[in-house]
């Protein structure tokens, strides 16, 4: 039984492309993880439920169109349209808001942030001090009253070429599409020329209930620590899964 619903809506033309719908994160588990064994003689991340929860919690957004990236590439031809910090795009541009956005080329699926908006951040250095490009997401996201969404790159499963700038949006009240600034991984790719293909998973959406919290501190007695460790250590494998873990459901 599912108690809450998250709604994704898009322009009718894009909505017709069902292969590009957001999916539950559990459908995006990497092959390397599936191929792991977890047995007494070979304990791996396959038996770590916190790791599995990171892979399966929430929903995944996919890149809405192909992006041809030439990042930090010097052009020998000074008249060439694609220059050092250019980011060319091809594909669909059916998001309704694009049609009235004068600052966005109608052949483009991106916007851009100047470096000064993150001045002093290590993200600027990682992006090789070039403009921070933003993927225009065609999906409007709506959650029940009192619920927001955390947006991050797919946890423990992100593309090694780029990542999004994480953020939290109150999706129960925000009425527009949420777009995602991306940082090129200049630590690994000082110069990058690549195609980020349509359908590439790039955002993990984790809905959560907004609540007020306060921090408290408590001293633990040695006897309590020893008792909890003894109880935890009575099994050779799957201790956390069998004793503490709660199954989560995402559909």
The tens digit of pLDDT for each residue in 58-111 reads 999 999 888 888 888 876 654 444 333 334 443 333 333 333 333 333 344 566
CA atoms of 62 and 69, how far apart (whole Å): 17
pLDDT band at 34 (very low <50, low <70, confident <90, very high): very high
Tokens 């010097």 belong to: 74
CA atoms of 197 and 159, how far apart (whole Å): 11
Q: What's the average model confidence in pLDDT over 244-248? A: 90
CA atoms of 207 and 5, how far apart (whole Å): 10
pLDDT band at 115 (very low <50, low <70, confident <90, very high): confident
Average pLDDT of the chain, as a whole number = 84
> CA neighbours within 13 Å on the CB side: how many for 203?
28
Share of the chain above pLDDT 90, in %: 52
Give the pLDDT of residue 96.
Answer: 31
pLDDT band at 226 (very low <50, low <70, confident <90, very high): confident
Other C-beta atoms within 10 Å of 84: how many? 13
Share of the chain above pLDDT 70, in %: 85
Give the pLDDT of residue 103.
Answer: 37
Is residue 199 over pLDDT 80? yes
From residue 90, how far is each of 108, 110, 231 by CA, in Å?
7, 10, 58
CA atoms of 22 and 177, how far apart (whole Å): 14
Give the pair of three-digit tokens for residue 181.
């600034």
Give the pLDDT of residue 15.
Answer: 85
From residue 133, how far is each of 99, 144, 226 by CA, in Å?
19, 30, 52
Give the pair of three-digit tokens for residue 24.
């539950």
pLDDT band at 244 (very low <50, low <70, confident <90, very high): confident
Contact residues for 221 (Cβ-Cβ < 8 A; gap 6+):
none
Give the pLDDT of residue 86.
Answer: 35
Tokens 């929903």 belong to: 59
Write down all domains in the chain, each with its CATH number in brackets: 9-21+59-215 (2.70.40.10)
CA atoms of 111 and 95, how far apart (whole Å): 13
Contact residues for 220 (Cβ-Cβ < 8 A; gap 6+):
none
Q: What's the average model confidence in pLDDT over 32-53? A: 92
User: Does this model's pTM top 0.75?
Assistant: yes
* Lowest mean pLDDT, pick from 83-97, 192-206, 207-221: 83-97
> CA neighbours within 13 Å on the CB side: how many for 3?
6
Candidates 30, 240, 248, 6; CA nearest to 155 is 30
What is the residue-wise DSSP string for 185-225?
A: -TTT-SSEEEEE-TT-EEEEEEEEE------------HHHH
pLDDT band at 146 (very low <50, low <70, confident <90, very high): very high
* Run of H or E including 63: none
pLDDT band at 1 (very low <50, low <70, confident <90, very high): low
């Amino acid at each position: 039984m599912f108690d809450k619903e998250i709604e994704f809506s898009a322009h009718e033309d894009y909505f017709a492309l069902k292969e590009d719908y957001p999916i539950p994160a559990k459908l995006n588990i990497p092959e390397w993880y599936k191929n792991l064994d977890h047995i007494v003689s070979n304990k791996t991340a396959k038996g770590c439920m916190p790791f599995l929860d990171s892979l399966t919690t929430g929903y995944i957004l996919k890149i809405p169109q192909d992006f041809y990236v030439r990042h930090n590439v010097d052009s020998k031809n000074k008249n060439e349209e694609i220059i050092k910090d250019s980011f060319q795009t091809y594909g669909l541009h059916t998001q309704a808001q694009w049609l009235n956005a004068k600052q966005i080329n109608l052949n483009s699926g991106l916007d851009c942030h100047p470096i000064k908006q993150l001045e002093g951040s290590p993200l600027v250095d990682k992006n090789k001090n070039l403009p921070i490009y933003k993927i225009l997401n065609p999906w409007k996201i709506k959650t029940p009253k009192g619920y927001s969404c955390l947006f991050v790159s797919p946890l423990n499963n992100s593309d090694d070429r780029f990542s999004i700038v994480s953020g939290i949006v109150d999706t129960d009240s925000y009425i527009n599409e949420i777009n995602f600034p991306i940082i090129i991984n200049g630590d690994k790719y000082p110069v990058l020329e690549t195609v980020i293909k349509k359908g590439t998973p790039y955002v993990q959406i984790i809905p959560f209930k907004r609540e007020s919290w306060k921090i408290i501190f408590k001293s633990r007695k040695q006897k309590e620590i020893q008792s909890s460790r003894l109880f935890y250590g009575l099994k050779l494998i799957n201790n956390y899964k069998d004793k503490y873990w709660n199954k989560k459901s995402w559909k």
